[in-house]
Amino acid sequence: MTRSKLRPDLSLLITVLVLAIGGLVVLSSASVVLSQQRLGSPYGFLKHQLVFGVLIGLILGFAAYKFPYQKLQKLSLLFLVVVFVGLAAVLVPHAQHGAGGAVRWLDFGWSTFQPSELAKLFLLIYFAALLSKKTSPKHQLVVVVIILILVSVLLILQPDLSTLGVIVASCVVLYFLSGVKVPYVLGILISGALSLSLIIRLSPYRWQRFLTYLNPDVDVIGKSYQINQALLALGSGGLWGVGLGHSRQKFNYLPEPMGDSIFAILGEELGFIGVIIFLFLFLFLFIRVFKIAKNADTDFGRLLALGIGFWLFLQAFINIAATCGLLPIAGVPLPFVSYGGSSMVVSLAAVGILLNISKYQRK
């Protein structure tokens, strides 16, 4: 097999830039009220996202693009160590930063960082490296199961069940796409589903969230408040939206208007047409990633591209579906759109890796 070095996938790059710029525009409107209340400036959160999210993300993305992606395979074990150290460090009292009853961030004083976001990318790199090696399928299965169990324990302690779901689903899909036996995958899926059901049932607030999903008309000013306000925002948008900057729900009616629920503000201000445009962009991004994976010059590159593509697409799907009431409320950000420097930085770095892989094509 030979390979040729090509130009990076410009279609993917343009799609991500449009998503990021569009996300900043929506964020500038969705965050204006909370920013004024908490920071004393209507664009404080936007400025933070620009500096600690987009700017740093573009720098790391460019570095990931220039660094030969094949060398990531040799560094995969180091990345795995970083994942466990980061997730464990969050549990250290003097290093952690909490919000909303959860402790998921490391506090650096001038900013915070969420290690679980980095874990999404680093675990995919490690599993792509592991599964591309010619080793025993049973050995691979044992390693995959042990790592996922350890990561699950650390994320449950935070707690961050939504991120855990994204990580496990992405890794299991990658495991399946590597060509392993179906019974192995089914065993992991069944065990994971049973464990998830047990965790939800034994946790009162998670069980209540699940019941709210089944019947959102119950307790509309209590447990069902967020989903009903999100649906109200989407319904108010109509075909063309109420206009950029004219959202009513962002005035302390909709919880998390610039984070998990930003898609509702997007639908309210830009309407059905705006929603369709963003959905098309995410779908087109996944199509481009699939093409990059298909033409990758190594098995490692193919698996890594597929893993990253499925992770970004799955996370977007969960966020949008939860906002529309198709899934229980989940605390995962909308890639390239929601407020959060950690998510933006890691997502842009992952895109840099995808563009790196796209430079090499199998002949």
What distance lies between CA 186 and its chain's CA centroid?
24
- Per-state percent for the chain, helix, strand, coil, to nearest 5: 65, 5, 30
Q: Which of 18-32, 181-195, 259-273 has the lowest mean pLDDT?
A: 181-195
- pTM score of the predicted model: 0.91
SS3 of residue 4 by DSSP: strand
CA 328 to chain CA centroid, nearest Å: 16
Least confident of 54-58, 155-159, 347-351: 155-159
Q: Where do the domains of the chain lie?
A: 3-358
- How far apart are the C-alpha atoms of 12 and 22, rounded to whole Å? 15
| Residue 301 clears pLDDT 90, i.e. is over it | yes
pLDDT digits (tens, 9 = 90+) for 163-195: 888 999 999 999 888 887 778 888 888 888 888
Cis peptide before 159 (omega within 30 of 0): yes
CA gap 98, 114 in Å, rounded? 11
- Contact assessment for residue 258 and residue 28, using Cβ atoms and an 8 Å cutoff: no
Q: CB-side exposure of 119: number of CA atoms within 13 Å?
A: 30
Average pLDDT, the chain: 87
pLDDT at 2: 47
Which one has a higher pLDDT value, 60 or 106? Answer: 60
User: Phi/psi of residue 250, each to 5°?
Assistant: -75, -10
Average of per-residue pLDDT across 101-126: 82
Rounded alpha-carbon distances, angstroms, from residue 311 to 15, 156, 307, 328, 347: 17, 20, 6, 19, 10
Residue 100 scores a pLDDT above 80: no
Residues in the chain: 363
